Amino acid sequence: MKDNYLWTPLMCACHRGDIAIVDLLLNIGANINVTDTARNTPVSIAKQCNHQEVYDLLVKRLNGDVKRNIISKISITY
């Protein structure tokens, strides 16, 4: 399920910083590598919104393989 900007429930939860919902969505198979119309990923959204706990969970699930946010040109890796 996506909205007009291609945001998924996982992206919305990352934007809100709701770690419990992020964890639940990941556990039921949410796509962690999905991108929206601006090429943001759940990881980049969590980082941009300063939700460090959510960001850390996503990075852990990705085993450190974090995508680069193409639009903002900022690296979100450590």
The residues spanned by each domain of the chain are 9-75
Q: What is the pLDDT at residue 6? A: 80
* Whether pLDDT at 69 is above 50: no
Reduced to 3 states (helix: H, G, I; strand: E, B; else coil), residue 72 is coil
Q: Region 33-49: what's the mean pLDDT?
A: 93
Percent of the chain past pLDDT 90, that is, above it, reads 63
pLDDT band at 74 (very low <50, low <70, confident <90, very high): very low
What CATH number should be reported for the domain whose range is 9-75?
A: 1.25.40.20
